[in-house]
Amino acid sequence: MALLELEGVTRIFRLDGLELRALGPVNLEVEEGELLAIMGPSGSGKSTLMNIMGCLDRPTAGRYRLAGKEMGRRTPAELARIRNRHLGFVFQSFQLLPRTTALENVELPLLYRGGISSRERVARARAALERVGLGDRLKHHPKQLSGGQQQRVAIARALVGEPRIVFADEPTGALDSRTSVEIMGLFQALGRSGITVVLVTHELDVAAYAKRVVVVRDGRISSDTRQTPRVASAEVA
Amino acid sequence: MSFLETLRVALRALLRNKLRSALTVLGIVIGVASVIAMTAMGEGARMQVEKTFASMGTNLLVILPGATTSGGARSGFGSAPTIGWSDVEAIRVNVPSVRWVAPQLRTVAQLVSEEQNWSTQLTGTNPEFFEIRAWAVESGRLFDEGEVDASARVAVIGRTSAEKLFGPGVDPVGRRIRIQNVPFEVIGLLESKGQSFGGQDNDDAAFIPHTTYQARIDGGAQTHVAGAVLVGTASAEDTGRAQRQIASLLRERHRIRDGQEDDFSIRNLTEMASAMQDTTRTFTLLLASIAAVSLVVGGIGIMNIMLVSVTERTREIGIRMAVGATPAAILAQFLVEAIVLSVAGGLAGLAVGAAASVKIAGSYGWSSVVGLDVVLVAIGFSAAVGVGFGIVPARKASRLDPIEALRFE
């Protein structure tokens, strides 16, 4: 059984009585531990696909199972709890809380999980930041960090809850090429440790690091290929 | 997320915009402070009224003679002595709810001691007067029935008169004074009663038997009471009945036919007292409701700022939702922020209101009363304002779509 299973997933947006099919129908299976890149030009529906897989959005039609459980008809609160327990997110614009230290940003998912003592939260957040090589930046605010460092904080935040899947939406879009390589190295390291990574990008250079590339065009999957990934020389893991 | 964590997050968010939070709180401070000050002052005024009426005597009726018509000119109450001494006795004998009856003959007289002289309110009455007015001696004794019958030249004086005549702290009992050149012995000093309802000093007074008053001050015994008659009943409930019974007795004795005007009037001070208290209570309520309007305005201020805050922090809400904050957790966070603002305002308003009411009441000579109930209501009410006006922004925040919120610039 695949970790993620999409069957005829469709997303239709209604705007002023107009129906806009952003996605679908899409069939896709993602195995545990895969490093998958979703590619496509802007407006192709790749972000919509990621949002549905990431339980940030619900499909209009079709079935979506995460670890064998149907996600399609859950309430926003149930989806929030699933995101909190099983999923991690990395965004193009980092999406860190401003005027909040790196440590507190990383603690955030644990805060909403509940039942974790403040001491344990700090310990786990610290460990996650060390894992991404930011053990010496715990008390820094996002503004005091470089773009690459901010994205590492975001990755630490995605990892702190020990998710099964990490979704990354254009994670290198705001970074220079050298930093991008470092960040991709981090994602590859996650894949090696058994975490499934779903990467959304429109850059071939970035997709090159993935084992599998799915191309979305006009809301449908136009190709699904496996490849030998490029290896980023990252010293972090 | 636990409540304490929610509270911590809320406090951090509020402290990030200190000036804005302080200004928002100010609206509630003003609202709560004015409600507290108004109710405290109203309560103080009510107790003042109560105290004043209590000093006049409990369960008290005052019968005033007068209201005569001679040659077409109608004179007011007290203008003619229409109540006979026999009427006084008849009331005592025939009206069962009457407990005490005391004549009150008054004039302003010059009192002369060996050292000083002092002009004061002189009252001729009987021992029952002191029962009606619940007035005891501080030293010495009151005059008794025997002394009234004997027209004894004995006087009981108030604290102020005693101090003016003999100097402060001197016990006047046993000393001799002259009233209109008639020598009297001071046999009692009355305990202090403070100000009367009209602002007069109750203690600036002297009391002698009414028989002595008629003989020595008014120049001979009369058939009618040249003043008022005080009637004390056993309980407050009796005053209304006693008033009706005395009225019909006097109309019968004075042969007043139906439709004719009474030649006396009866004032029920117990009823007046409760009417006054109702009035002050109504006023308190009125003032408090005006003050409550400002509390509502303060609540609208909170709602306004919270709506601005939700819009400004849309992205933050999106981030929190993405990492797993449920709509309920977001709702709780913004609701707690609103409640923290309003309760902080409530507590500050309580302090300001209490201080203001003590100061204002002090300048009027009233006692200001900030009861525990008022404190609890103030805090409860401000929290309710927080919930009431915070729920709309909080719901707005909790219903945001995480994807939209993350894209918000």
CATH of the domain at A94: 3.40.50.300
Interface of B with A in 214-233 (CB under 8 A): none
Specify the DSSP element, H or E, that contains A89.
strand A87-91
User: What residues of chain A lie within 8 A of the CB of B326, using their CB?
Assistant: 76-77, 80-81, 112
Residue A5 lies in a domain: no
Residue A199 lies in a domain: yes
Structure tokens at B276: 């006054």
CA A172 to CA A183: how far, in whole Å?
7
Please tell me the number of Cα atoms within 13 Å of B276 on its side-chain side.
17
Minimum Cα–Cα distance from A97: chain B residue:
B316
Residue range B143-156: average pLDDT? Answer: 92
pLDDT in tens, B283-314: 888 888 888 888 888 899 999 999 999 999 99
pLDDT in tens, B339-356: 999 999 999 999 998 888
Residue A8 lies in a domain: no
Residue A180 lies in a domain: yes
Structure tokens at B349: 């308003």
Cβ-defined contact of A111 to B1 (cutoff 8 Å):
yes
- Please provide the average confidence, as pLDDT, over all residues in chain A: 91
pLDDT in tens, B197-206: 666 788 899 9
CA A171 to CA A151: how far, in whole Å?
8
Q: How many domains does chain A have?
A: 1
Residue A190 lies in a domain: yes
What is the C-alpha R_g of chain A?
A: 17
Specify the DSSP element, H or E, that contains A178.
helix A177-192
> Is B316 part of the contact surface with chain A (CB cutoff 8 Å)?
yes
Cβ-defined contact of B323 to A157 (cutoff 8 Å):
yes
Structure tokens at A198: 């779903």
Cβ-defined contact of A96 to B16 (cutoff 8 Å):
no
Amino acid identity of A36? Answer: L
Query: CB neighbours of A78 closer than 8 A, spacing ≥ 6?
Result: none
Minimum Cα–Cα distance from A113: chain B residue:
B1
Predicted ipTM?
0.94
pLDDT in tens, A23-44: 979 999 999 999 999 999 888 9
Query: CB neighbours of B387 closer than 8 A, spacing ≥ 6?
Result: B335, B338, B339
> Is A80 part of the contact surface with chain B (CB cutoff 8 Å)?
yes
> Is A84 part of the contact surface with chain B (CB cutoff 8 Å)?
yes
Minimum Cα–Cα distance from B327: chain A residue:
A77
Residue A37 lies in a domain: yes
> Is B5 part of the contact surface with chain A (CB cutoff 8 Å)?
yes
Q: Which of helix, strand or coil describes residue B370?
A: coil
Q: What is the dihedral of CA B85, B87, B93, B97, to 10 degrees?
A: -120
Minimum Cα–Cα distance from A111: chain B residue:
B1
User: What residues of chain B lie within 8 A of the CB of A83, using their CB?
Assistant: 322-324
Q: What is the dihedral of CA A56, A57, A58, A63, to 10 degrees?
A: -70
Strand pairing report for A87-91 and A69-70: unpaired
> Is A155 part of the contact surface with chain B (CB cutoff 8 Å)?
no
More confident position, A210 or A114: A210
Residue A128 lies in a domain: yes
DSSP string of B22-50, one letter each residue = HHHHHHHHHHHHHHHHHHHHHHHHHHHHH
CA A80 to CA A74: how far, in whole Å?
10
Please tell me the number of Cα atoms within 13 Å of B3 on its side-chain side.
2
Cβ-defined contact of A97 to B16 (cutoff 8 Å):
no
Domain extent for A48: 32-59+76-226
The helix/strand count (H/E) of chain A reads as: 7, 10
Record the pTM.
0.74
Q: Which of helix, strand or coil describes residue B283?
A: helix
Q: Which of B231, B235, B219 is nearest to B83 (CA)?
A: B231
pLDDT in tens, B18-40: 999 999 999 999 988 988 888 88
Minimum Cα–Cα distance from B6: chain A residue:
A111
Residue A164 lies in a domain: yes
